[in-house]
Chains A and B, each alone.
Chain A
Amino acid sequence: MADVILRNVSKRFGSVEAVRELSLAVNDGEFLVLLGPSGAGKTTTLRLITGLERPDAGSVMINGRDVTQDPPGSRDIAFVFQQYSLYPHLTVFDNLAFPLRSPARRVPEPVIRKRVEQTAELLHIAGKLNNRATRLSGGEMQRVAIGRALVRDPSIYLMDEPLSSLDAKLRAELRLELKRIQLEVGATILYVTHDQVEAMTMASRIGVVKDGRLLQVGTPREIYEAPSCSYVASRLGTPQINLLPASLMSDIPLPRGTQTVGIRTEHLQIAARNGGRLIGRVSRVEHLGEQNHVHLDYRGQMLVTLADPHQPLMSGQEVEMRLTNPLYFDAAGQRLDAML
């Protein structure tokens, strides 16, 4: 196990700048999640670390060694692909053994057998070792795919949306298991996803990526509570953060230069009208069982917040809104410190 450092790495494909001057350090034993929409350059970043792509500029260091020009095989990395990581012509055992049987590694066969069996045990697929890879359920396939990385003991595990092709239930299950395995093995993992739940639940740190740039790196809590900009704020949280133009909020004191006010559901309480200045009109209430999503019309802007399902609310009703510690963003979208 070791750390990986990217220094000002850039990569373009034709006219598309996939990764721009990206710098990132993955520390030993850390579970770092890169979160971003598709096309943000997450996968390209992983491929640059692996050596499947060469950066146009910048360098990649693994374990203190500059590997920018090294071929993928000599970088001591294990990669879990989003799809297509199992060889259909091999059994589960042979699929798991494949990385160890690489001619570059020369692992003796008894050791391979032991490693594969241990890994299968860890992933709860020990009973399926003699099955053909094609005869597995989606969840089992994905376990084997992760297992193909785990049989080795590389410097770092790179995972490219390994759970995205699974259904919600399996995804939740494997999410927990992956975290458990990471803690058990003490692995360094760089994990790429567009799913904020995966990022929040598994990551030691999250890096938010957009348009090939790394916008912010921090613990899930830091990213959620102190986002560097309005985009990062909008990546995390369900329902999504409400972004209102400051011009509509002239009734309350705002920090100097505020252009946008970011209001998460927990920043916004609603109550019956009682002399407050922020008055919104309920336009729709969605019942989700344990809570209600309340859509509010505030001076022509739609806001979403949560409410107790027992709170009597009807569409068309006017309510008073109270803000507690919302986020403030300037004209460039950067977050401003709240006034003390």
Chain B
Amino acid sequence: MTAAAAKSTAHSIVEASPRSRAVAGSLVILYAVITLLPMVWIVATAFKSQSDAIAYPPKVLFEPTLEGYVNLFTVRTRQTADFIAKLPPPSTWYDVIVRKHDMVIAGPSKVVPRFVNSLIIGFGSTFLAVFLGTLAAYAFSRFRIPLADDLLFFILSTRMMPPVAVAIPIYLMYRQLNLTDTRLGMILLYTAVNVSLAVWLLKGFIDEIPREYEEAALVDGYTRLQALRKVVLPQAVTGIAATAIFCLIFSWNEYAFAVLLTSGEAQTMPPFIPFIIGEGGQDWPAVAAATTLFVVPIVLFTVLLRKHLLRGITFGAVRK
């Protein structure tokens, strides 16, 4: 028996041996590689030429090009070689890339407005869901609400049906209300779906915060809302951050409703990306480029809130 193991017999937590650490470490690394591999492939594909992207067997080493990104952001037209020869020399690096394929840039593609739609709808609905969810969860946690359990179950049940089941009624409703293909409509829809998750998650977090904190504030002359803002919210930050990430990931990735309800003005990235067509079918490098850009905000948001997610562990000013 090693000294470390002997020392730890008095405790229920046994210190890991170097070998078990090594095994655990390599398992984690293996899992990370498996998880990250598709991501790496997507990022790589975005820098391939059209022919490299569909080459078989797949190419691991290739000559990188920005064609995918240029194609993603532009609309191009094919011209005769004569026409291109008569044009003044290309003024930018992307003109150079495009003309190699006998094409000229006709204008910007729709990717930027679609991306903006995704940002507005994703963050807008996340904010609303977390805001409403926090208030509702606080009320469920602190006040005696008649039929509270039934109401909570009802709220949860809104999440139980697959989108297909409610697609037609929602489509009809939205048409009546002129909400189809509007950002407002999508924000409201995603908020409605997310708020159930938010209420349930946040109620758990708020239940953990002792009432005495607010009661102390009430006795000190704070109002309910002031106590909520100054005492409860700072301590629920961990839960709010986690909830916000879940909500954002849902509304950011949502495909079914987005396909059904948006086509132009309010279209988000998920229905847009698969239909990036090049000549002779799907433009895979451009699709990969769009996907890469699509993932960035979620990664940034998660990294930004990471501190709060990890902080929950050593929380609490009470020694028991």
**What residues of chain A have their CB less than 8 Å away from a CB belonging to chain B?**
50-52, 71-75, 77-79, 81-89, 98-99, 102-105, 133-134, 138, 141, 148, 152, 165
Contact = CB atoms under 8 A, between A and B. Distances in A.
B219 A141 contact: no
B316 interface: yes
Given A87-B231, A88-B316, A73 B220 contact: yes
A84 B219 contact: no
B235 A138 contact: no
Given A87-B231, A134-B316, A141-B319, A102 B216 contact: no
Interface residues on B, range: 20 to 34
Contacts of A72: 215, 218-219
B315 A102 contact: no
26 contacts: A50-B219, A51-B219, A52-B215, A52-B218, A72-B215, A72-B218, A73-B218, A73-B221, A74-B221, A83-B212, A84-B210, A84-B212, A84-B317, A84-B318, A85-B216, A87-B231, A87-B235, A88-B316, A98-B230, A104-B223, A105-B221, A134-B316, A134-B317, A138-B319, A141-B319, A152-B220
Interface of B: 210, 212-213, 215-223, 226, 230-231, 234-235, 314-320
Contacts of B216: 79, 81, 85, 148
A134 B234 CA distance: 15
A81 to B, nearest CB: 5
Nearest to B314: A134
Given A73-B221, A79-B219, A104-B221, A87 B317 contact: yes
B221 A141 contact: no
Given A83-B318, A88-B317, A102 B222 contact: yes
Contacts of A81: 212, 215-216
Given A81-B212, A83-B210, A138-B319, 13 more contacts: A50-B219, A72-B218, A73-B220, A77-B219, A78-B220, A81-B216, A83-B318, A88-B315, A89-B234, A89-B235, A102-B226, A103-B222, A103-B226
Contacts of A75: 219
A102 B221 CA distance: 6
Contacts of A165: 319-320
A78 B216 CA distance: 9
A73 B235 contact: no
Nearest to A83: B318
B66 to A, nearest CB: 47
Contacts of A104: 221-223
| Chain B binding surface SS class | helix
Contacts, number: 80
B219 A73 contact: yes
B72 to A, nearest CB: 44
A51 B219 CA distance: 8
B317 A133 contact: yes
B218 A84 contact: no
Nearest to B209: A84
A79 B320 CA distance: 21
User: Which one of B231, B234, B318 has the highest number of Cβ atoms from chain A below 10 Å of its Cβ?
Assistant: B318
A98 to B, nearest CB: 7
A71 B319 CA distance: 31
A52 B223 CA distance: 13
Contacts of A87: 213, 231, 234-235, 317
User: Which one of B215, B216, B226 has the highest number of Cβ atoms from chain A below 10 Å of its Cβ?
Assistant: B216
A98 B220 contact: yes
Nearest to B215: A52
B288 to A, nearest CB: 43
Contacts of A103: 221-223, 226
Nearest to A148: B216
Contacts of A99: 220-221
Nearest to A79: B219
A88 B235 contact: yes
Nearest to A137: B319
B223 A73 contact: yes
Nearest to A82: B212
B222 A73 contact: yes
User: Which one of B218, B221, B222 has the highest number of Cβ atoms from chain A below 10 Å of its Cβ?
Assistant: B221
A138 B231 CA distance: 21
Contacts of B320: 165
A50 B221 CA distance: 11
A172 to B, nearest CB: 18
B212 A102 contact: no
Contact of B317 (A51, A86, A152): A86
Contacts of B215: 50, 52, 72, 79, 81
A88 B318 CA distance: 9
A78 B219 contact: yes
A81 B226 CA distance: 20
A81 B218 CA distance: 13
Nearest to A144: B317
Contacts of B318: 83-84
A71 B218 contact: yes
Contacts of A83: 210, 212, 318
